[in-house]
Amino acid sequence: MNPKTSSHLRSILAHAVLVVLAFMCLFFFYILFVNATHSHADLQKGFSALPGKDFLTNLNNVANDGTFPMFRGILNSLLVSGCSAAICTYFSSLTAYGLYAYDFKARKAAFTFIMAILVMPTQVTAMGFLRLVTKMGMYDSLLPLIVPSIASPAVFYFMYSYMQSSLPLSLVEAARIDGSGEFMTFNRIVLPIMKPAMAVQAIFTFVGSWNNYFVPALVIQSKDKMTVPILIATLRGADYMNFDMGKIYMMILVAIVPIILVYLFLSKYIIAGVTLGGVKG
């Protein structure tokens, strides 16, 4: 076969596969949107591929439901997810910088300890975490959803790997020779270099915190402090007589909008962050 023809066929096949994958990814978002435009009665009739006429009705039902504080839940989730993403990326980068730029005796032990925490499931420490939160007087507040994100072994490891590939120690040494303090060096020299990696991890942390159901279900009881996943769960578990599938689909649709906006805002850093953040071979 002619090499030019073979290359052309491979290109067509690659584009066909990409089109199929894109369709599979976007199809479910489309179905979610379509279902959010139908009433509960229409949804009970079966599947429909065409949008309905009840989009504004469902949105109004969710927004004006006195027993369901949708906008308050979105604000709570934005606060928790935004703060978690900010402190997680900053302090994980700071920890990675400490282990990367300093050579001390317990360096390997500290790295091993952090990696050991990485493989520990959250559910294992749930009861101890709940007792600690209760004794500290933070039960039924948003603080337990934000403060623990300071310690994130997964983000630390990504940042550490990124520094190994992108941050020469000679640059840090030059800053020290010029009289720059350690925090000034980190904030003004290291962080700009880490910007792509921090953007990537900020997206992942934001999405993970936004979708987190387990921890909020443990520590939150008041409805005005509930996050979006908890509110959706309470709406799904409503009384059968008051159950409205159209409201549920609308709430899920509203809930994913902030995630899409954050992704679009930071997406230009993803390829650079993932590519440069790989571990050196």
pLDDT tens, position by position, 230-255: 888 777 655 555 677 888 888 888 88
| pTM given for the model | 0.79
Low-confidence spans in the chain with pLDDT less than 70 = 1-4, 66-67, 236-242, 269-281
| 137 Rama class: left (phi>0) / alpha (psi -120 to 50) / beta | left
Where are the extended beta strands (E) located within 76-214?
A: none
Tokens for 255, please give them. 């809930």
How many C-beta atoms lie closer than 10 Å to residue 239's C-beta? 6
How many helices, marked H, and strands, marked E, lie in the chain? 15, 0
pLDDT number for residue 91: 92
CA distances from 111 to 49, 88, 98, 115 (A): 52, 17, 11, 6
pLDDT number for residue 173: 85
pLDDT number for residue 241: 59
Alpha carbons 259 and 22: distance in angstroms, whole number: 18
pLDDT number for residue 236: 62
pLDDT number for residue 273: 53
CATH 1.10.3720.10-classified regions of the chain: 62-276
pLDDT number for residue 66: 67
pLDDT number for residue 240: 55
Question: What does the pLDDT look like over 52-90, one tens digit per residue?
Answer: 888 888 888 887 776 677 788 889 999 999 999 999 999
Q: Are 85 and 120 a contacting pair, CB within 8 Å?
A: no
pLDDT number for residue 83: 93
Measured at the CA of 229, the angle between CA 128 and CA 66, to 5 degrees, comes to: 115
Alpha carbons 63 and 231: distance in angstroms, whole number: 13
The CATH class that applies to domain 62-276 reads mainly alpha
Closest CA to 100 of 9, 57, 144, 163: 163
Enumerate residues 6+ apart whose C-beta is below 8 A from 279: 161, 164, 165
